[in-house]
Amino acid sequence: MMNKRVYKNYVDLTNIIVRVSDGTPEGKRNAVLVNSHLDSTLPSPGAADDAISVGVMLECIRVLTETPGWQPVHSIIFLFNNAEESLQDGSHLYATQHFTAHTVRAIINLEAAGSTGPELLFQATSEEMIEAYSHVPRPFGTVLANDVFSSGVIMSE
């Protein structure tokens, strides 16, 4: 499918979108998108790919919204998309048709690549995000995925 035009038609595709913001126009102008997907491949039950990430996002929403006095400076959009395993249809639907997509300035995609080993930053396109990631307790990453995704072998953005 590399170098081929792909046409998408969305039928019965549902994403769940939760936006956390201070409610002001200024607060809604810029957003960080946190993404996971609700589907899995057959015959997988989807525990690692990607139910664990869905759980992490739900817990983040709970903690953020229940923390007294916490106010986001910018919006945080939590996208629970469907049809990720079929050429990222759910995320494509969001990026091309949802009214909040134009506000996204950075994306954190929570994804599983197996169920063992350390947490891994496997793709980053912003020097600022890489710098921020360098301050986590045990940063671990590789540039291999950037090269693979850039080559077009895997149809993804």
Q: Which residues are catalytic?
A: 84
- The answer, yes or no, to whether the previous bond of 43 is cis (omega within 30 of 0) is yes
**Distance, CA of 40 to CA of 22 (rounded, Å):** 33
Q: Is 88 exposed, middle or buried (0-12, 13-18, 19+ CB in 10 A)?
A: buried
Q: Look at residue 34 and give its three-state secondary structure.
A: strand
Residue type, 62: R
Cβ neighbours of 28 (radius 10 Å): 16
